[in-house]
Every structure is written in structure tokens, then in C-alpha cells.
A and B are shown apart, each in its own frame.
Chain A
Amino acid sequence: GEDVEQSLFLSVREGDSSVINCTYTDSSSTYLYWYKQEPGAGLQLLTYIFSNMDMKQDQRLTVLLNKKDKHLSLRIADTQTGDSAIYFCAERRLQKLVFGTGTRLLVSP
């Protein structure tokens, strides 16, 4: 299908790790992105990964890419209450971004 899929909701406790999963569809996608959207705000670019890489780490964020299964994940270490937001994955098809459905992350104290 055409859809980029994410689980809708994830709840974790402060200090735990969060793992947000994404399944994309186009094996020719060149880059895959993760964005964060806080209430009432636009999209903040968190990180992106080139399709020929399988891992990228940036401070508390780790992106894993399984190209064979078209599966992307974002791990947030030591999750904080300020990480509560909606997280979108997006695959880049030529110049266009196709977004996932978004995962709402709730971090409780």
C-alpha cells in the first residue's frame, strides 16, 4: 500500500527508553526522517538517516533502519516529560515527504 504506518500511542515512565516504530512502503526512498510536534507547534526536525545506513546516533536519539523489512525505529534514551509530543516518521520519495500517521508519546513522572 501507499501508507506509512506507525502505532498511535506509546506511554512510558520518565527515565525509561522509548522506542517508536515506523513501517514505510517505498524501497527507493533515499532518506527517512523523524519529526516531533508539540501541542500548538509546527514540526521540529529531530534527525534523518540515509537509506544505505542501518543506524544513526545523535545524543539521546538512536535511529535504526532495516531496509529489507522497510522498518524504521526511533529510540529515545532517558525519556523526559518534555519529550511528550507526537512523533512523525516520513519517507522521502523524490522531493516529496510522505508522512506516517504519527505516534503520541506520553511520558509520566
Chain B
Amino acid sequence: SAVISQKPSRDICQRGTSLTIQCQVDSQVTMMFWYRQQPGQSLTLIATANQGSEATYESGFVIDKFPISRPNLTFSTLTVSNMSPEDSSIYLCSVQETSGNTIYFGEGSWLTVV
């Protein structure tokens, strides 16, 4: 199975700042995604990270707030911009293996905005 590393694992951020989360996979994967899990809630898809082109965002999420990069098949970044306390969440990177069926998640990046 794919091994996914996310950095940072946890951070406490000041209101108004931005933070970039990195996701590294140990093998080439077809799809990479970013999800958000707000405290005590389920997971919601933010966007699909597309290699070499702009990410595809879900309703309610915009590029200015959550810019995403995917320069190659094994790496992606998510930036949470101009943070407010409402952005305090777990942000999870997810990958779909080339077989197309298995979908794995990283350990998540736990952000607290103060």
C-alpha cells in the first residue's frame, strides 16, 4: 500500500497568516486529493490536485483560500491562506493508487488557529 507522509503533523498558527502543508507519497499515484475534517465532524473534499495544472475545487472551496500545487506524481501541497479560527481542522492528503480501487489517507495535519 502507498505510504503517505504529511508535514507538518501539527501546528498552532496566528490569525491572518498562511500555512503550507506538504504531502509526499512513496509511489506514483494517479489521483491526489485534499480533505478537511473539522472538529468532531466527518471529512469533506476540498479539491483534487491535478499534476501540472490547476486543482479542481469542490463547491464552497476556492483557489484563493486553498491554493494547491502538484508538480509531479508523488508530491502535492495545500496552502491555507489568511487563516481564521474557523480554519482550525485536520487537513488530510489522500491518494488513489494506479489500480484505481484503493484510496489511502495520510496521518493528517492538525491545525489550530489562534
Q: Which residues of A contact B (CB under 8 A)?
A: 31, 33, 35, 41-45, 48, 50, 88, 90, 92, 95-102
Contacts and interface: CB of A to CB of B under 8 A. Distances in A.
Interface string B18-61: 00000000000001010100000011110010000000001000
Q: Which of A88, A97, A101 has the most CB of B within 10 A?
A: A97
Contacts of B92: 42-43
A31 B92 CA distance: 20
Contact of A42 (B42, B45, B102, B106): B106
Given A42-B92, A42-B106, A88 B42 contact: yes
19 contacts: A41-B107, A42-B90, A42-B105, A42-B106, A42-B108, A45-B1, A45-B102, A45-B103, A92-B103, A95-B96, A96-B33, A96-B58, A97-B33, A97-B43, A97-B103, A98-B45, A99-B43, A99-B44, A102-B42
A100 B108 CA distance: 18
